[in-house]
Chains A and B, each alone.
Chain A
Amino acid sequence: AQSVTQPDIHITVSEGASLELRCNYSYGATPYLFWYVQSPGQGLQLLLKYFSGDTLVQGIKGFEAEFKRSQSSFNLRKPSVHWSDAAEYFCAVTSGTYKYIFGTGTRLKVLA
């Protein structure tokens, strides 16, 4: 069965520091991968997605993610975190059916 694992429930970083949020998936075929962000009281906003091609994808707000098939990973990175990045981040995968499968999320706290 397909699954998505986000091993870090909470991450705290200082403003200006770099960030990496981990995402591992379990799926036999090539997955379609997404990162969404949820700010308090807001819906899920798409940061970036990977369908095929270049394994390093750029997203909004300065985020990027790298698809590594050998590691079944799709980690999200940002070189310099801003206080406004504090939110919950969800990795999701779909195999080409209608449903997305989400990870449990990583809550990011940014220290001033």
Chain B
Amino acid sequence: EPEVTQTPSHQVTQMGQEVILRCVPISNHLYFYWYRQILGQKVEFLVSFYNNEISEKSEIFDDQFSVERPDGSNFTLKIRSTKLEDSAMYFCASSDRRVTDTQYFGPGTRLTVL
């Protein structure tokens, strides 16, 4: 069964450093998403991406964050200058169609900012 994959599974970085989290969505999906889950808190929407542009973003997704689909298979989340509060589990998801289609989630990348 097709699945969303994410790399790395765990990333440790120093505050102020840039990180790139990578995702390979399900191959025929058109919509891509990033969510995050701070330890002990709920899963929160960050951004959705369709047709090579952001379709929706949350207030969390500020100028420090960016997303890109650099090729036909990868979908990346970049954090330019990490802060301690960026430490979280980051989930990538993809779906075939908007609204009525299910979002399929990857296993997550745990980001630890020291």
Task: List chain A positions with a Cβ less than 8 A from chain B.
Answer: 32, 34, 36, 41-46, 49, 51, 90, 92, 94, 96-105
Contact = CB atoms under 8 A, between A and B. Distances in A.
A44 B106 CA distance: 7
Contact of B4 (A36, A43, A92): A43
A51 B44 CA distance: 21
Looking at A36, A98, A99, A101, the one whose CB has the most chain B CB atoms below 10 A away is A98
Contact of B42 (A41, A42, A45, A105): A105
Contacts, number: 56
B113 to A, nearest CB: 21
Nearest to B46: A99
A96 B102 CA distance: 12
Contacts of B50: 98
10 contacts: A32-B99, A44-B43, A51-B100, A97-B56, A98-B31, A98-B48, A102-B35, A102-B44, A103-B42, A104-B41
A98 B55 contact: yes
Give the interface SS of chain B, mostly helix, strand, loop or mixed.
strand
Nearest to A3: B42
B107 A100 contact: no
Chain B interface size range: 20 to 34
B75 interface: no
Contacts of B105: 36, 43-45
B45 interface: yes
A97 B102 CA distance: 12
Interface string B74-112: 000000000000000001010000111011111110000
A94 B103 CA distance: 11
B107 A43 contact: yes
